[in-house]
Structure 1
Amino acid sequence: MLITYPGYADFVSSFSVDSATRDKDFGKIGMILKSKLLQDVIVKGKAAAIKIKGDTTEYNAGSFEIQPNSKVEDLLKQLPGIQVDQSGKITAQGQTVQKVLVDGEEFFGDDPTLVTKNVRADMVDKVQLYDKKSDQATFTGIDDGERTKTINLKLKEDKKNGFFGKADLSGGNDEYYEGQAMFNAFKGKRKFSAYGTLSNTGKTGLGWEDNSTYGSSSNMEFTDGGIMIYGGGDDGLDSFDGRYGGQGIPVAKNGGLTTTVNGTMTSNR
């Protein structure tokens, strides 16, 4: 028997009659309001994989499967609307992602691959995708209409520390040698970078690419309406490619340290 009434839960009862039992008395049947029935229902589930907050798309990193020791690059490849090519270039919503921030700040430099290829995916709590206003608009409060497609990685509280680096060593005929090493470490808001060069092949420094990548370049200045790039002295020791451009081949021994605490940078070379 099925009894239904708007606003009440269905009453269902199974029964049978035979030659010995021809009647079935149900007595007074009490119906239960659906609203009262739902008060005792608890629905549990995982946090939403994707949330839209204004102009920001936020991905919950824990909702996507990643392999042990995977990098951020591997995590981004699984997020809907984001593509990463073989060179590490990131495209989101049809636009190139020019900045990848960590907890809202640049990570040792402005090269996105510095983050995506060195930070482990299991350190990430949330991935935020949005259009970042220009630095000038942020500083002045006047919107100039310029936007930069940006990804911000929010790290888990217990994962805001780590280190990475690289080393290049080589030797050749006639006692030629060349060596360079870089080390980067971070803990909370503190960042530490160090590099060293030892060479008699003409390599005297980091060069333009590593200088700009690791945020230690001192030969670029932003001006009204453009960017001014300038070189060093006439001896050629401060060149864009990091190699000596003067007469003869010098023996180079140099290094540098950079520390950042709460956004304040201190450099020594």
Structure 2
Amino acid sequence: MPTGAQAAAAYPVRPRLSPTTTSFSVTIILVLVFSSSLVAAQENASDALLKFKSSLANADPALANWGSSTSPCSGDHANWVGVLCFNGYVWGLQLENMNLKGQIDINSLVPLRFLRTLSFMNNNFEGVMPDWRKLGALKSLYLSNNQFSGQIPNDAFKGMNSLKKIYMANNKFTGAIPSSLESPKLIELRLENNQFTGSIPAISSENLKVLNVSNNQLEGPIPAALLKMDPSSFSGA
């Protein structure tokens, strides 16, 4: 019959890990998981942005360096022109004054889970407005000074409760101003110099600081919730 020492040698006891060792192991695992997730997200972002670029009629030379490096972001630094980054993720696109044309492919941007701001101001986009609801987490949307036209569906911004700033001035939008612009966090709304008709919806966001619907074809009284706005906001309407 084996002695106690022989039994111990035959069946060694596993050493117990201290809390410090366990915490260190968990930290290493979390770091590896986060790094893998970040690499995957960056690869997805690259694919998404290159697909978006392919939908534009004249992306080059403005976006010529897209795809020149493996990732659009290195931490908070952007490797691709017009891309805004935060912690290695694509946070926004600032594609202004680039003479861009073609279709804005919303579907290609859906994989960018951290996308919060888009600016396409001062370009030559035309036609009906894309369905921004597919990017429901947007906080700001800048479309001023393009050639967008046609009516905007009344529910075009329904459910986009994070929107703070919307600029759609100096386009060719027609029809009624959509009532779904009543985001609870809305701070700035600029719709001047379009062809909107009908009445001004009762946009009652308590946070609204800037409103401009001037130089449209609106009619009827100014809603009570908007009487605090500068009178010039309604001139020529």
TM range (shorter): under 0.3
Decide which structure has greater helix share: 2
With CA pairs under 8 Å and 6+ residues apart, which has the higher RCO, 1 or 2? 1
Which of 1 and 2 has greater Rg? Answer: 1
Scaled by the length of structure 1, the TM-score of the pair is 0.22
Which has the larger strand fraction? 1
Q: TM-score, normalised by structure 2?
A: 0.24
